[in-house]
Amino acid sequence: MDTARTPRGQEEKWKLPASWRWVKLGEVCAIKGGKRLPCGTNFVNDQTPYPYIRVVDFIDGTVDMRNLRYLDKIAQSAISRYTIGKDDVYISIAGSIGIVGTIPESLDGANLTENAAKLVIFDKEDVSRDYLARFLMSSIGQEFIIKRTNTVGQPKLALSRIATIPIPLPPLAEQQRISGVLHDQIAAAEKARAAAQARLEAVKTLPAAFLRQAFPQHGQPLPDGWRWVKLEEVCTDISDGTHFTPTYVPNGVPFLSVKDVKEGGLSFLDCRFITQEQHQEFCRRCKPEKGDVLYTKVGTTGIAKSIDIEIDFSIFVSVALLKLRSIIIPDYLEKVLNSPVCRAQAENLTQGMANRNLVLKDLKLIILPLPPLADQEHIACVLLDQMAAVQKARTAAEEELAAINALPAALLPRAFNGEL
């Protein structure tokens, strides 16, 4: 077998061990494409002996069996020559180019989509299927694949170009050792990832738990001095933003819609802008000010956020503006509206399925527990500290998860440089 030269410009980057060599993919594999199904082909509901492998069926290098499609005997006969076996390596050549994977023994001989090719290893004594697949999935292999992709018009990876992909090839025993180490370490990383994801999901449930604990549910007795009130009873005015789409400008006064109102704060990073003249016109009817509370009412309904900054902005019809009486403080109203006792009411009062809308007349009817001002301030203060602790824990969990997710990408280049 001839040895391919080191990829041009990579001599310093690639310093392989003495027993390794460079080969081109076409020197160790036959490369065969898939086949387009005839027009009008229908997939069957039952699992037949003829599974049809698509690009979307591969997740993390293997087939996700849950959404696998199947052909009937007639459709299968039309493409029976275009199959992938348990000893082959799959690679997508159109659409999402560079998806790589192998199939389990149960799918041996599955039919292959037109947007994919299979790599048939010539000599099993020279090349390990798992080693080859893991290399092509690595950042190094993906770099070689992308460089050979035709980006003119519809992106396509020609079979002839796949054949030129260089592979750093150690002896077979070393390939098998590397594959085994990668399998074990990636499995360990996946176990750690699942545990970190579980911790993150647990942290995400804490805000609702704290809010549920802070406020009594309907039907429960209220503490002395507390009473149930409708939202309209604690507000001097409840309105919503302009019902007309304004003319947006590159820079100007921020114009917030439902996507910009979050429990964690108001987001001005991705908002649109309007002119000062439009802002002044909208403010005649609806003027957001510090101390008011915003409340989402179209699409994602039932999210409250008090305005705790002094900045001029306007709002769209998807957001309601609550101006408060002196009997309630903004931070308390924000927290109680975001609690399960009020969030459930908002969900029940929201109309429509695709176009969800919580109209003002219904929004005003939301019932909430109203304690004395001193109790409101205490509750808001305690919840503020709890939410800050939750955010800190969530950030730590997200950073941990990101670090774990980065492990395989960091591990694979070392493996194929002979450093594992």
**For the segment 289-304, what is each residue's pLDDT rounded down to a tens digit?**
999 999 999 999 999 9
> In terms of domains, do 236 and 354 share one?
yes
Q: What is the CATH number of the domain that holds 84?
A: 3.90.220.20
List, in order, residues 6 or more apart from 83 with CB less than 8 Å away.
109, 110, 111, 112
For residue 400, tell me if it sits in a domain: no
pLDDT digits 0-9 by tens, 150-159: 877 778 899 9
Examine the domain organization and report whether 288 and 165 are in the same domain: no
Parallel/antiparallel/unpaired status of strands 51-53 and 69-70: antiparallel
The residue ranking higher by pLDDT, 248 or 139, is 248
Instruction: Identify whether residues 126 and 37 lie together within a single domain.
Output: yes
Residues 123 and 239 in one domain: no
Question: Which residues, listed in sequence order, are joined to residue 370 by a DSSP beta bridge?
Answer: 227
Last residue of a domain, one of 370, 386, 414: 370
* Domain stop point among 126, 142, 170: 170
For 292-386, strand residue ranges (E) read 293-296, 304-306, 314-315, 319-324, 367-370
Residue 236 lies in a domain: yes
**420: in domain:** no
Tell me the pLDDT band of 263, cut-offs 50, 70 and 90.
Answer: confident
pLDDT of residue 26: 94
High-pLDDT (> 90) share of the chain, %:
68
Q: What would the pLDDT profile of 327-339 be if each residue is shown by its tens digit?
A: 999 999 999 999 9
Are 157 and 280 within one domain?
A: no
Q: What is the mean pLDDT of residues 56-82?
A: 88
pLDDT at 264 over 80: yes
Q: Considering the domain boundaries, does residue 260 fall inside one?
A: yes
Match 């911790």 to its residue by tokens: 199
Domain identity same for 241 and 352: yes
* Pairing outcome for strands 253-256 and 367-370: unpaired
86: in domain? yes
Alpha-carbon Rg of the chain, whole angstroms? 30
Domain presence at residue 292: yes
Q: Mean pLDDT across the chain, nearest whole number? A: 90
Question: For 397-405, which contacts have Cβ atoms below 8 Å and span 24 or more sequence positions?
Answer: 397/196, 397/199, 397/200, 397/203, 398/200, 400/196, 400/199, 401/193, 401/196, 401/197, 401/200, 404/189, 404/192, 404/193, 404/196, 405/193
pLDDT-derived band at 13 (thresholds 50, 70, 90) equals low
- Which residues are within 8 A (CB) of 206 and not within 5 positions of it... i.e. 6 or more apart? 386, 390, 393
Residue 2 in this model has a pLDDT that exceeds 70: no
- Which residue segment(s) compose the domain that 111 sits in? 21-170
pLDDT(232) > 60: yes
Predicted confidence band at 11 (pLDDT cuts at 50, 70, 90)? very low
Do the domain assignments include residue 49? yes
What is the tally of structural domains in the chain? 2
Query: What is the CB neighbour count within 10 angstroms for residue 147?
Result: 11
Q: Note whether 144 and 241 are same-domain residues.
A: no
Model pLDDT for residues 341-369, shown as the tens digit of each residue = 999 999 999 998 778 999 999 999 999 99
Give yes or no: residues 146 and 233 share one domain.
no
* Domain endpoint, select from 170, 193, 215: 170
Q: Please, are residues 169 and 28 in contact by the beta-carbon 8 Å criterion? A: yes
176, part of any domain: no
Q: What's the rounded Cα separation, in Å, for the pair 90 and 162?
A: 12
Do 101 and 242 sit in the same domain of this protein? no
Residues 232 and 162 in one domain: no
What are the residues whose beta carbons fall under 8 Å from the beta carbon of 65, sequence distance 6 or more?
none
* In a shared domain, residues 44 and 131: yes
Residues 152 and 268 reside in one and the same domain: no
